[in-house]
Structure 1
């Protein structure tokens, strides 16, 4: 076999694999495939420098990684807003003037999101969603998934996004084999898919029978006008295609599609927890843009929760990082929607009293997709007198300290309580906070148990000797962990504020504080906090109280951490201090123009009102344009916008 014959053989093997795994129309027998595969492998062993990256021999697996490196997405991977009813669907359609739009719908498979990057027709990288901007590099694992093409007939740069899943039947086979081998059973197909994608040994990933279904693209050079046409093209490149994909022209057609898909819930080979609904027009998607968390042009219309009966055998108590003691219901165990449920949230003791719940009760439990299982009803008519009342605790289950009973919330006030300390450290190091790779829950528990850390600040006092005697820590893992800790010392300011674990202050609130008060976030007043959009008295009081009690600790932490503040160089012009609404299709992406206006000190609003100063209008402007006319708001086009922004 010469080099030309080798390349032809590689392409033939990939064509055969695509026909077998993706199209379900085999083009060759197993013996024929194996014989050609052997010739390719033999050529590569004799000519390692000529081996191509898209060779099917790269699907063998067996590569062992110390841990996953970080990999930035070229375009952000967004999560979706959930809706649960026709009323919420109608409300979503009415937001952003979507009534005249066509909608693309498809199943929302329950798996793990994956971003594949192709360049010059070759798969060059694969990453998990991560925090949306940066994921984990799982390229070696993606290459062993049979339905992920190593080579595609398209030379442009493209990020292809989709869901990695395990079919119900394959999941059952995997668990049957694990049971025979005396291994713990996997919880459900969704968790199994996510865990399989993140195996350090790619041969384990290969054995898990994963499948990849594309649902979108990130960075790309495509010129399609609709999402449906774009996905038809993507799926033509050699990816799996589900048979339930369609374009709807009205809300009635969306409802009809939803009902039809829901009726197929049990028949579908892959678990799904709803239906994705998105605006089909890509220019309209650009116009609608994004909120802080979600795209405005797509939602997940979730299926109703599945209900099952189970027996409540006990109530466990968990202490969170703020000291709140949360009751957790312990069930005798019930399978719901592919997951074996033993624990359910009870929220707080007021909820227990509202339900009239007792230990030993038969209860109604619901679970929907990734929603935490919960009790919705108590079958009191089935009581036999053996039930036991659930009493409110007086002592902390972890440290034994007296608890403060505030009604709905019961709190441990002991700042040195192990549960509070460990929970706060875990939260601090988590992905959505400081994102310290290598410091997961189990590692933090281990370090705490062995006296290596007793507070958040101790993370930054760790050195290589701190890991002496700890099981599983080899020199490379120690080096990687310490490097990750060092890398976290210059986080964006909003991430640092989020990581402090202030009650009611999540990522969105932290971003507002960091954006508006980047230089005085540590010493804010009540009025300053209440001036922030969306801040109420409870949020402001929580922030103030935390900073009052923990001021010294935060200052000490800042000796090790230097948060990065995004410098905003505001250019003064006619838009400074004005409220601007953008509508229609423009020559530049809407987010780009919005960022530019904000750099001028303008506020960009999503709706027209009497307080609006300008409406920047592009092609196909709709109701916002008409409303601006009726209110007498100044309407400008892009030409006038460019002229005005350059005037001082």
Structure 2
């Protein structure tokens, strides 16, 4: 990097930082920001005399919005150094000789930092981080956050610091409402939290379901020797704490990182790494600070799952129900180790909501095995080469005119090749009838040769149909015919899922199987609508599907003979009770959940007055505290096992 390139990079990064921190409208992904930041950092390490006074490496966070009055932190709020792999973690530990120390580790939640000042037990001020010295006074907004106590049982002055976040489900609900109101969607939970915290109208903040999770203190007169003791004290004042809070030695850090990374998708709050902090406060004091970071703590970042790339084109896919789905064709990008070339755009209303055009720079997110999804458009980076994406009028497969119903655009041609083939592919897939050897390519081949034209034709395939087809030898033919035969006598839930009824997936199919059994085809609209987790849309979809395809379903069922598996409820002390499971147990939580459901119990995700029992393992956190506060019965595994035999 030359000096000119360095100065340009500083200018670019500052513009990205302003959009991210001050305007809450990011124009670059976290991965892009981190990469450019570290390029600047490396240049400055090699050329210390050239460091610009405007360099973002000399700042913490962002500036202060003119919409709020400014307020100073009593003790400075620091940022954290980022590390990205095991080698960088070990290098950080060796600096300052931290090898034999204990560390506190917890999730690094992706939100907006907030400093709460309490005097005489009363919340007197709430300040955003700002530049670390001066932030924005958002006290009125902070008071609307239910997890921020207005009073605490501690009469000395104390600054309690933490992250303001929005749960992923709440974020989705906010965007759904904004779409209904004709408003632009919020880009991600982090920016939604920051923007909500800085609303001039506190009534808007109150509606956003913000959550405050503390991670430290500033000004205080506490006499604890360890950070973990401080956080236990803060939690006991009535603040939230995540279940993943551990005190570990050096050799345990990587395993903890892998454990937390594995929970990335299941966590209700978006997190982007793990905080590693020296527990001994005296040692923290000795280690001190750099210009920007404390030397006693670091953010061990997760691999990026949201990246920036270019939308090259939009391809059209026709599904088994005839719905035409737009799929973004992307400039290839690697996300969390996977090469991503396409991403879902859901429907054309979503394209209009995003305001995306061909040639746009977009942010794309991939989480686990979930299909990559376009989450935002960097409109500020348009260069005039972009072109609009028009709603299609002609089916890309059969050429017939499409029916535009608003959200859904459908091909009505029942003989459309895409509809037929996709319905067969779905039926034979692993989560449905699981016919091994009958994959996409084979189904397309058999369709082209006229051997199958609809789902039921699968069961008419014989040896003579396949002999002579390229790639089909005796063993392969016999294996396929056996897999087709083995698909008979499957569970009714798999059979229903395989039929491909709109809005009826695996979970809904299991519920239909359990409640209606073999009489599911005769179930009424009201009966279906009243099922737990169902509603008008699902009930209407199922009943209409049955009416249109009743005879075809009967003919297929006569061949397959699906078996309705009834959930056997064993009566014991847990029957009809509501459970919450927390902490580390000897078995996976899903095992306990399935077992409890087999006893007729319900497993909830949070503790309330309606909770009957909390099953608590080691390192149980805030859920255990909540149970004790509400007087809910807490049992350990030993007590759980003994109660299973009680009637």
Taking structure 2 as the reference length, what is the TM-score of the superposition? 0.50
TM-score, with length taken from structure 1: 0.50
